[in-house]
Homo-oligomer: A and B are copies of this chain.
């Protein structure tokens, strides 16, 4: 009797923490999609994740999944250098694609991806910059657009993690961590980043030997709005992402409020979220549900591959700035193609988000 559309048959590629989380999310909380394939060369990991999605199958490679099961969509949660080999065949099959950030690991690879995508009739790739779906960032963007407090002049961003995984390198500060601010700053300001500079204060002795952090990354946008990003990834006490936005006549702050407040033992306070999963869990849910809904309509509803390309260009300049100690200009080789829906570089396909 019901004529609801059939659920999106989805493969999840990469069965690590993030991939397994997406398998669980799609199965338990997302309407209109189901996981039919879990892809990972590590069989045990693939099977553990597939166990979360009754009826799903496991595959050692994306090619085998394409051959073995009917797919409508793919979520890519592998390391960045493995994105392109999944995205290109997925584009050929016309699948709806959600790529975790970054779009790819190099500017060159990002360019190849947006070139390949433009051979299709419309964007198929959405990049997993989940902060755009966080209630706080949404409200901040609305405040910018409303003009209520005048122009946005500067942003103080703090990005704090309790500790780093093994093999985390100095450049990862930019490419894995600040990449979120590299995406969200243009999203909030409404214009692209034009320069990057890095300042290195006194090193945290609790960071792994040889990792020179925290760092301050200064991102300047076209009209001069300056975002000062504290990237600080071994601060022990918890995961905390805050933004103070300085307008001409006021200041807006996000990321400081938590849920329950307890007064005990001479202190009154709140828990800090231990990881990004608690801090941004709701944003991930909204992100994936909106991506699924858009896929049913043949659209994307969030940052595009073009946004992924822009972020990779800024990240490149950022890594250079870490080495040079200088303000490095950011130069985009391309104008934004009409294919990606409009002329404003840097704000992405999700311009309508804030009004949602």
Contact = CB atoms under 8 A, between A and B. Distances in A.
Contacts of A166: none
Interface string A188-225: 00000000000111111110000000101010100111
B228 A34 contact: no
Interface in A112-150: 135-136, 139-140, 143, 148-150
A11 to B, nearest CB: 12
Contact of A250 (B70, B226, B263, B274): B263
B202 A225 contact: yes
This protein's copies in its complex: 4
Contacts of A274: 266
Given A4-B55, A260-B136, A250 B224 contact: no
A27 B2 CA distance: 12
A9 B1 CA distance: 10
Interface string A1-44: 11111010100000000000000001111110010100000000
A354 to B, nearest CB: 13
A254 B259 contact: yes
Given A201-B224, A258-B257, A249 B271 contact: no
The size bracket of the interface on A is 35 or more
A267 B262 CA distance: 10
A312 interface: no
Interface in A227-266: 228, 230, 232, 235-238, 240, 244, 246, 248-254, 256-266
B257 A55 contact: no
A140 to B, nearest CB: 6
Nearest to A153: B202
Contacts of A238: 263, 266, 268
A66 interface: no
Given A135-B259, A148-B264, A153-B203, 13 more contacts: A1-B36, A1-B57, A2-B9, A4-B7, A4-B55, A28-B293, A149-B264, A156-B156, A158-B251, A214-B246, A249-B264, A252-B261, A282-B282
17 contacts: A1-B70, A27-B31, A28-B293, A140-B260, A149-B264, A150-B205, A153-B202, A154-B201, A154-B202, A154-B216, A199-B226, A200-B224, A230-B246, A235-B250, A240-B263, A263-B272, A267-B270
Interface of A: 1-5, 7, 9, 26-31, 34, 36, 53-57, 69-70, 135-136, 139-140, 143, 148-154, 156, 158, 160, 199-206, 214, 216, 218, 220, 223-226, 228, 230, 232, 235-238, 240, 244, 246, 248-254, 256-272, 274, 282, 289, 293
